[in-house]
Structure 1
Amino acid sequence: MSSIIADADRTAPPKRITSKVIQPAWVRVLHWINAIAMVIMIMSGWQIYNASPLFGFVFPPSVTLGGWLGGGIMWHLAGMWLLVINGLLYVTLGIVTGRFRRKLLPISASGVIGDTKAALTGKLSHADLSTYNQVQKLLYAGILIVGVLIVLSGLAIWKPVQFQYLTAIFGGYDAARYVHFVMMASIVGFLVIHVALALIVPKSLRAMIIGR
């Protein structure tokens, strides 16, 4: 009997290993375009900042883009259009496909606190990459809001006369610069956390490259 079972096991077709699509193609493409646009915007923005610092420091030339104020502005405007067009596509598809609703909702204070405690104690599970935990939901929803504010404050700085009402909402040109800087710092902080998590959980980076 045992030999019959063994023969059956040898002749049985091998089990197919299936992989689950975590990140659809449109998400992956827009994600990497957005990453390139953000690097251009941040580095060129630091070049522009150095021309008229808001605080008592400047950024090292090695992390800036453009070489001078005019060059920084040209790179910043190029990155701006790439970021805005890409961002509009991402938000539109995120809403139309229902991805935002599935991925980012619901968010609760108790859930965020619980997942934060679990993360700090090393008990937060990363087994299911298709579902965001409450901390991820909060961060991703928050960065969307930050993205809107940095674009609006940027427009207020870029065209303070044409967008005078928008500039006034931010409290004037100088106040808009501070808002823009704080939003930039928030995005940089998010990127640091985002990259760190990708390194801690490498399969999440693989999913953003191959989708599975």
Structure 2
Amino acid sequence: MTRSTPTKPQANPGAKPRVIHPWPLRLTHWLNAVAVVMMIGSGWQIYDASPIFGFTFPPLITIGGWLGAAIAWHLAMMWLLVVNGLIYFLWSATTGHFRKIFPLSPRAFWHDLTAALTFNLKHEPGVYNAVQKLLYFGVLCAGVVIVLSGLAIWKPVQLWFLTDALGGFVIARYVHFFAMAAIAGFLFIHLLLVAMVPKVLPPMITGGRIEP
């Protein structure tokens, strides 16, 4: 009697390819990118008008040209960031997208960080590794802090309770600056990772497909 060998399961011919990045995620991602870059550039112009440290930013990398225009750009992009951020949070909460970021364990982070530093980190389309999870969680927290501290600086009288909670107007400026620095650092690392793994960029533009 001959022994039959198990056959490899066949893919469902009727199954449709899965989109890696749905359009709401792509849209909010790129709108956030525009808003954040514009806010950082205009924020540097505003900072230069009243520095809190012993340096200023070169005019070439600021946006607005002068204080009034920089404030106008900053406020316009603030509303884009807030509205777009709320849409992202609602979409992520209702679709389960946040499950891609949580849970996050220190052991998994250390494992993936070591693999990334030795260029041995494998990338699966649509799956976040532990390093990405921590970066995304961190930038989400920094985004909340920068909005709250920005409101405290913008309306210190009307929102006195928020300004007081942050330690006063001067301390709120420091909080706002360091939150900006955290977001700028995230952007640098994010672009560096994209440069290291360029195949992740096209799906964020087209959506990408994973065959069933």
Same fold per superposition (TM over 0.5) = yes
Structure scoring higher RCO (CA < 8 A, sep ≥ 6) equals 2
SS in 2 for 1:140: helix
1:98 to 96, 99, 118: 96
Query: Which letter does structure 2 place at the counterpart of 1:166?
Result: L
Aligned 1:142-153 pairs, distance under 5 A: 142-153=138-149
- 4+ residue segments displaced more than 3 Å: none
Alignment of 1:167-178 (within 5 A): 167-178=163-174
Question: Which residue matches 1:3?
Answer: none
Note the C-alpha offset of 1:195: 1.0
Partner Cα distance (1:130, 1:70) in 2: 42
Could you say which structure has the higher helix fraction? 1
1:113 aligns to 2:110 (yes or no) = yes
CA distance in 2, matches of 1:142, 1:115: 17
Q: Is 1:131–2:127 an aligned residue pair? A: yes
* Distance (whole Å) between structure 2 residues aligned to residue 188 and residue 62 of structure 1: 17
In 2: Cα distance, 1:61 partner to 1:115 partner: 39
Partners of 2:103 and 2:77 in 1: CA distance: 33
Q: How far, CA to CA, are the matches of 1:25 and 1:48 in structure 2?
A: 34
Shift of 1:200: 1.5
- The Cα of 1:39 is off from its aligned counterpart by 1.1
Which amino acid letter does the alignment assign opposite residue 188 of structure 2? V
Between the aligned residues of both structures, percent identity stands at: 58
Residue of structure 2 in register with 1:48 after alignment: 46
Alignment of 1:1-212 (within 5 A): 20-101=18-99, 103-126=100-123, 128-212=124-208
* Higher Rg: 1
Give the Cα separation in 1 of the matches to 2:40 and 2:50: 16
**Letter aligned with residue 152 of structure 2:** A
Q: CA deviation at 1:19?
A: 5.5
What is the number of residues matched between the two proteins? 194
RMSD across aligned positions (CA): 1.3
Task: State the Cα distance separating 1:20 from its structure 2 match.
Answer: 4.1
CA distance in 2, matches of 1:73, 1:59: 16
Q: What CA deviation, in whole Å up to 9, does each residue of 1:90-142 have, x standing for no partner? A: 111011111012x111100111111111111111111x121111111111011
Tell me, in whole angstroms, the C-alpha distance in 2 between the residues paired with 1:119 and 1:179: 31
Q: What is the DSSP-based 3-state SS (H/G/I as helix, E as strand, rest coil) of the residue aligned with 2:81? A: helix
In structure 2, C-alpha distance between the alignment counterparts of 1:20 and 1:92, rounded to whole Å: 22
Between the aligned partners of 1:95 and 1:142, the Cα distance in structure 2 is 17
Q: Deviations over 1:26-53 (max 9, x none)?
A: 1111111111111110000000000001
Counterpart of 1:55 in 2: which secondary structure?
coil
User: Aligned equivalents of 2:17 and 2:181: distance in 1?
Assistant: 37
Aligned position for 1:4 = none
Unaligned 5+ runs, structure 2: 1-12
